[in-house]
A = this chain, B = another copy of it.
Amino acid sequence: METNKEHASQWFKNLRNSICKSFEEIENIYSGEMANSEPGRFERRLWDRPGGGGGEISIMKGRVFEKVGVNFSEVFGEFSPKFQNKIHGAEEDPTFWASGISIVAHMNSPLVPAAHMNTRFIETKEQWFGGGIDLTPTFPDEEETVFFHNELKKICNEYDSSSYDRYSKWCEEYFYLPHRRESRGVGGIFFDQLNSGNWERDFSFVKKVGEGFKNIFPEIIKKKFNKNWSDDQKKQQLIKRGRYVEFNLIHDRGTKFGLETDGNTEAILMSLPPLASWP
């Protein structure tokens, strides 16, 4: 197992590096109306977790990405007695280890969707992978949505033929705001407690999800990032981001979990948009 943990953690870190590089590349090739400003570059900050481990936040504020955060973390220790009962496999032993990568991108252009990707490997008395990718356009676009879901379906089909249906349904149910009676975005895939008994196979799927995000999202960005937008479209985007804030602070399990277990506030709330509106 020691080697599995090392492999997973190393993969998440390498993926972080290659995604940051690919996003900086997008900043470079941009030629839209904000092209007079400098291309954005990631800044990194390390943080320590008092109970064990820590992470590294990479943040870029650029001309395509208004704010994008890429978090890598590897944490370990013991869950508090209050929490251990809520965690798979920790009921009798609070010891845990977890590593993952988490990305949230809020774009300058209201025509380009916000995106979120996360993959993680967790070990208690059990061990499993979890993660997902989802897209939040302000102005949903049929062609874009179909392309996005088809690409995810291809990735899932390589794992097994039923996973896309299950994971896209899971995503739809998870990213829902009951008080607004609306979805956060146009869905994607979401999975948790993935352990088929074949670690290499599951790991390979998780790697493909990460690689997939690195390929799919830039394709989506590049289709629209150079187009002009109106003030009214920007206003609509800020309202949509308000809903994003509502979801993350009221419902998101990762956010709740992090805040209630004394996680790194800056890393946890990196997902919040640079600007949001409740007019």
Please provide the chain A residues from 264 to 279 with a CB less than 8 Å away from any CB of chain B in the complex: 265, 268-269, 272-279
**Which residue of B246, B259, B273 is within 8 Å of A278 (Cβ)?**
B273
**Which residue of B61, B242, B269, B274 is within 8 Å of A272 (Cβ)?**
B242
Contact indicator A67/B180 (Cβ below 8 Å): no
Contacts of A275 on B, CB cut-off 8 Å? 238, 275-277
A249 interface hit (Cβ, 8 Å)? yes
**Which residue of B180, B249, B273 is within 8 Å of A249 (Cβ)?**
B249
Interface string of A239-279 (1 = CB under 8 A from B): 00010011001100000000100000100110011111111
Contact indicator A250/B259 (Cβ below 8 Å): yes
Contact indicator B238/A249 (Cβ below 8 Å): no
Q: A179-B269, A245-B245, A275-B276 are in contact. List 5 more A-B contacts (CB 8 A).
A: A238-B275, A245-B249, A250-B259, A274-B278, A275-B275
State how many residues of chain A have any CB contact under 8 Å with chain B. 22
User: How long is the Cα–Cα vector from A269 to B259 in the complex, in angstroms?
Assistant: 22
Minimal Cβ-Cβ distance residue in B for A66: B279
Contact indicator B67/A259 (Cβ below 8 Å): no
Contact indicator A269/B278 (Cβ below 8 Å): yes
Interface centre among A249, A268, A269, A276 (most CB of B within 10 A): A276
Contact indicator A67/B245 (Cβ below 8 Å): no
Q: With both chains docked as a complex, state the minimum distance between the C-beta of A180 and any C-beta of chain B, in angstroms.
A: 6
Contacts of A277 on B, CB cut-off 8 Å? 274-276
Contacts of A245 on B, CB cut-off 8 Å? 245, 249, 276
User: How long is the Cα–Cα vector from A245 to B243 in the complex, in angstroms?
Assistant: 12
User: How long is the Cα–Cα vector from A277 to B238 in the complex, in angstroms?
Assistant: 10
User: How long is the Cα–Cα vector from A74 to B149 in the complex, in angstroms?
Assistant: 46
Contacts of A272 on B, CB cut-off 8 Å? 242, 278
User: How long is the Cα–Cα vector from A96 to B276 in the complex, in angstroms?
Assistant: 36
By Cβ-Cβ distance, the 7 closest A-B pairs, closest first, are A272-B278, A249-B249, A179-B259, A179-B265, A275-B277, A249-B250, A276-B276
Contacts of A180 on B, CB cut-off 8 Å? 265
Q: With both chains docked as a complex, state the minimum distance between the C-beta of A35 and any C-beta of chain B, in angstroms.
A: 22
Minimal Cβ-Cβ distance residue in B for A271: B278
Q: With both chains docked as a complex, state the minimum distance between the C-beta of A152 and any C-beta of chain B, in angstroms.
A: 28
User: How long is the Cα–Cα vector from A250 to B273 in the complex, in angstroms?
Assistant: 16
User: How long is the Cα–Cα vector from A242 to B272 in the complex, in angstroms?
Assistant: 9
User: How long is the Cα–Cα vector from A239 to B276 in the complex, in angstroms?
Assistant: 11
User: How long is the Cα–Cα vector from A166 to B259 in the complex, in angstroms?
Assistant: 29
Contacts of A246 on B, CB cut-off 8 Å? 249, 269
Q: With both chains docked as a complex, state the minimum distance between the C-beta of A209 and any C-beta of chain B, in angstroms.
A: 26
User: How long is the Cα–Cα vector from A128 to B51 in the complex, in angstroms?
Assistant: 44
